[in-house]
Structure 1
Amino acid sequence: MKIAIIGSALSGNKGAAAMLESSVQHLSKRNDKARFILLSMYPSADARLNTYPNLRVLDASPLRLGVLINGASLLHRLLPPLRLAIERAVPEIGALANADVLLDEGGITFVDGRGKYLIYNVASILPALLVRTPVVKVAQAMGPFNEPLNRLAAKILLPRMAAIISRGAVTHDHLVATGLTNVQEGADLAFTLEVGDADAAAAGERVDVGFFDNGDVVGVSPSAVLRKSAEARGDDYISEVVAQIDYVTEVLNRPVFLVAHSARAQTAKTHNNDLPVCREIQARVARPEKVLFVDDELSSQTLRFLISRCGIFIASRFHAMVSSLATGVPTLVIGWSHKYREVLEMFGLAELAVAHSDATPERIRQMLDDLIQNRDEVAAQISVALPQVRARAMEQVSVIERVVSRQT
């Protein structure tokens, strides 16, 4: 079984890492001969972080993907006599041509209002289609498809997917409304990420886990994406989050775990990197001694273990929310897309999501107070729903296996 993966990475967004590692974990368990190729946007960092012996990292950084890999895949399609030479010259093409399936693990694709990302969404799957390798879009948020260019791209490419896994009811409705018949309902694969004793021990080496012993820690996961959109509106995002943390530490008298759930320790760039945002927040909080912040890039498993120790979580990164829900932690979500609400709906907790544009300080404080007061009931509700959500997430592993079986 040869599996190529694109759209996720070990470095940067740890939600993408959780999806990638869940794929490797579960497919390797089912087939001990499974081999994986990661077409990575951060090839050097991902190669450094890779601990999986059956995972190879190749260079699919944006410019190389958009120009060389897409161009070479077109030549591969048009010039059969040169195919072997092209595969040798561009190893990413060789990996795709010899793969049984490409897993597209982009967390959110083909969505109106994200025009600059549409090019990447198309470039990620087009080479596989050109070399005739089936593509499975692993559970992700998609749609709506009202904008002409997004609608056209979706109409041309999405029917050609071997399978599309929707990540929630809203996405599923968007996809079905277009007439697609290759769609199956699912849940984010990151819900199945396995965290063991070794991961807990690794967390203990990086953090004084005694910080969490009283069970009253409030986790806070800010977002560089929200900061950018807030500042475009003239809002001061850093001050907003600082005020939230100060309310927790000074009024509620609780400690805070400040989480950079997207982190790239080797760069100051903010794309897929919340470390700079968290540094600014930490520097301005009123009670820094009550705020735990690890100024480094932690693994997805380490982050999930630490998040599991929180009593309450405030998430503005999607997969920080997934980690808190996956470990039974009651979660308040301040987000920007339907992708948050549709996951909370699986737990019957959609009311715990608020759009950042509507997240006034008064509203957030009230929602947080209510969540703390009702913590046990919310935790019980998550516990009841979680097995079904995990089972739905695991179903896509079987979908991938069925697609692979048709190729072998």
Structure 2
Amino acid sequence: MTGPRITIIGSALSGNKGASAMLEAAIQTLSARLDHPQFTLLSMYPAEDAAQNHYDNLDIVPAAPRQLGVTINSLALAYRVLPFLRGILRSRSRAVRALVDADILLDQGGITFTDGREKFLLYNIASILPALNVGTPVFKCAQAIGPFRNSVNRRASRLFLPKVRTVVTRGRITHEFAEGLGLRNIVAGADYAFSLELDGSEADAVSEHVDLGFFEGDTVGVCPSVVLQKKVDARGGDYVGQMVSFIEELRARGKRVLLLPHSVRTGTDKTHNNDLPLCRDIHSRLRLGDDLLFVDRELSSQQLRYLIGRCDLFVASRFHAMVSSLAMAVPTLVIGWSHKYREVLEMFGAEEWAFGHDELAVDFLTQRFEALDARRAEVAAMLEVRLPEVKSRSRMQADLIVDVIGR
């Protein structure tokens, strides 16, 4: 017996565990609301995602960027303009069949149609255009869009975003950008990953690889990002050196440090969606000791969230590592590169604990950490108070998706 068919793009099980958290949150929340839903992921990393797929109702279909941009988009356009070929196209292309049979396409790209990321604009368009061409409604799950000052991005956004059934904005700044563009199909929400629930098995699973006794002292989690590294180093900085100096300063102050990559691709040194090579470089420059724990492997999004929740304080550069720390009410200091960080922290009244990569210096980072450490109890209490409302705004989009399917 099968129920509604839901196709998803822009997320993954492997690599970026923020993408995994969004995907698995959608599966969790929609499976609780629908009878026997069937999910298909159009995957950028099909082999890696298939290896990690433990869901009986999730099918993995290859959709690497070139395949998506050329093959799948061409076949979907042919499906639209050549009705006599529809049966053949549907039978011979798993991707076309997944889109045609779907009741809805969920676009889970974390940040799309944004100035300064024009090199990703074609992918942003290619992710939703096939569904539009075959007549499947598109639902953009909570994400950052805008600003739209760049003429190319602005024209593309004005052309394609109004064709989407619903755009869920991930915070105040994104919502204001969307309103400024004149969009009327927007709903204010919160990142879907806030809906991710732990199932209680995480401690046992993690303990096979990590000594959980490490967390008996005052523990600070540090989550670097290769995206931030590229931005810092491009302006002549030394991101790795700064992270090493900061971690050693924490240890000199009596803190225990958990070095945690939140985006990992097993079996490759490629750095796209993979912070493990960066973290290995940082770790190789640190002195060994019982006050340092490096997670040198790929863990699931739930296992990572559990580990982050064991920390007393957290320093994040990966966006969804920040989401997990906030979801576990851990006081968090954020080094970011986009408005997407600040607008989420605003929901918790914690925007003062974020600063941009252009301000990154060891002394400044240490000063901001000291300030957070001094107010940790106050900040933790504030996160606990705000968290239920943020989770409610996150889960709301599952109800919106069910409504679209029902129609």
Whether these two folds match at TM > 0.5 is yes
CA offset at residue 315 of structure 1? Answer: 0.2
Matches within 5 A, 1:139-288: 139-214=142-217, 216-250=218-252, 252-288=253-289
The residue number in structure 1 matching 2:77 is: 74
Within 2, Cα distance between the matches of 1:80 and 1:174? 38
Of 281-290 and 135-144, deviating more is: 281-290
The answer to whether the 8 Å contact 1:282/1:288 transfers is: no
CA offset at residue 287 of structure 1? Answer: 4.3
Query: CA offsets, 1:68-117, max 9 Å, x none?
Result: 00010110111001011011221101100110000000000000000111
SS in 2 for 1:76: helix
SS in 1 for 2:143: strand
Residue type matched to 2:152 in 1? L
Query: CA offsets, 1:105-157, max 9 Å, x none?
Result: 00000000001111110000000000000000000011001111111110011
SS in 2 for 1:333: strand
Structure 1 residue runs of 5 or longer lacking an equivalent are none
Identity of aligned residues (%): 53
1:5 matched to 2:3: no
SS in 2 for 1:149: helix
Within 2, Cα distance between the matches of 1:405 and 1:30? 12
Which residue of 84, 109, 113 maps to 2:112? 109
The answer to whether the 8 Å contact 1:4/1:37 transfers is: yes
Which residue of 138, 148, 163 maps to 2:141? 138
Matches within 5 A, 1:24-35: 24-35=27-38
SS in 2 for 1:201: helix
Equivalent pairs, count? 404
SS in 2 for 1:30: coil
The residue number in structure 1 matching 2:327 is: 326
The residue number in structure 1 matching 2:392 is: 391
The residue number in structure 1 matching 2:122 is: 119
SS in 2 for 1:137: strand
Query: CA offsets, 1:357-399, max 9 Å, x none?
Result: 1122221111111111111000000000000000000110011
Within 2, Cα distance between the matches of 1:58 and 1:356? 36
- CA-atom RMSD in angstroms: 0.8
Of 298-307 and 194-203, deviating more is: 194-203
Within 2, Cα distance between the matches of 1:85 and 1:182? 34
1:307 matched to 2:303: no
SS in 1 for 2:183: coil
Within 2, Cα distance between the matches of 1:156 and 1:200? 47
SS in 1 for 2:311: coil
The answer to whether the 8 Å contact 1:212/1:310 transfers is: yes
CA offset at residue 200 of structure 1? Answer: 2.2
1:297 matched to 2:298: yes
CA offset at residue 286 of structure 1? Answer: 3.2
SS in 2 for 1:165: strand
Residue type matched to 1:375 in 2? R
Residue type matched to 2:88 in 1? A
Query: CA offsets, 1:225-258, max 9 Å, x none?
Result: 01111221121110011111011111x1111111
Within 1, Cα distance between the matches of 2:96 and 2:47? 19
Residue type matched to 2:6 in 1? I
Within 2, Cα distance between the matches of 1:233 and 1:362? 18
Distance of aligned partners of 1:261 and 1:148 in 2 relative to their CA distance in 1, 3 Å threshold: same
The answer to whether the 8 Å contact 2:34/2:402 transfers is: no
The residue number in structure 1 matching 2:349 is: 348
1:47 matched to 2:21: no
The answer to whether the 8 Å contact 1:246/1:287 transfers is: no
Residue type matched to 2:202 in 1? D
Q: TM-score, normalised by structure 1?
A: 0.98
The residue number in structure 1 matching 2:66 is: 63
CA offset at residue 31 of structure 1? Answer: 1.4
Residue type matched to 2:141 in 1? V
Within 1, Cα distance between the matches of 2:288 and 2:269? 25
Query: CA offsets, 1:320-379, max 9 Å, x none?
Result: 000000001000000100000000000111110000111222211111111111110000
Of 283-292 and 114-123, deviating more is: 283-292
The answer to whether the 8 Å contact 2:20/2:301 transfers is: yes
Within 2, Cα distance between the matches of 1:400 and 1:385? 24
CA offset at residue 179 of structure 1? Answer: 1.0
Within 2, Cα distance between the matches of 1:107 and 1:115? 15
Within 2, Cα distance between the matches of 1:7 and 1:307? 24
Within 2, Cα distance between the matches of 1:230 and 1:12? 22
SS in 1 for 2:109: coil
SS in 2 for 1:47: helix
SS in 1 for 2:30: helix
Of 125-134 and 87-96, deviating more is: 87-96
CA offset at residue 290 of structure 1? Answer: 2.1
Structure 2 residue runs of 5 or longer lacking an equivalent are none
Matches within 5 A, 1:368-379: 368-379=369-380
SS in 1 for 2:141: strand
